Amino acid sequence: MIAGMYGLQHIGALHLQRVLGLGELTTGLAFLPAPVAIAIAIGIGIGIGIGIGILMLGLSAASSAASAPTTPSSRAAPSSPSASR
C-alpha cells in the first residue's frame, strides 16, 4: 500500500511536469496540501487520543473508588507482646 502511494505521487508529478508542462516548484507546491493535511490530522488525532486516555483514567479511578469497601476491616490489628505486660 505504501509503495502504491509513492508510485501515485511519482506518476502524478511526472504527469504534471511532462503532460501539463508545470515547473518543478509548481509541481511541488501542487503536492504540498497532502502533507500539511496529514500533519494537521496527526495533531488532531493525538489530542483526541490524549483526551480519551485521560477520560478512561478518570473513569477507572472513579470505578475503583466506587467499588472500594467503605467499612473498616473486621480483623483487629495484632498486638505486640510487649504491650500486654
Q: For residue range 48-58, list pLDDT tens digits in order.
A: 999 898 988 88
Q: For residue range 10-19, list pLDDT tens digits in order.
A: 899 999 999 9
CA distance 55 to 48: 10
> What 3-state DSSP class applies to 72?
coil
Task: Give the cell for residue 85.
Answer: 505486660
Whole-number Cα distances in Å, 29 to 23, 24, 49, 70, 75: 10, 9, 31, 64, 74
**Would you say the pTM of this structure is higher than 0.85?**
no
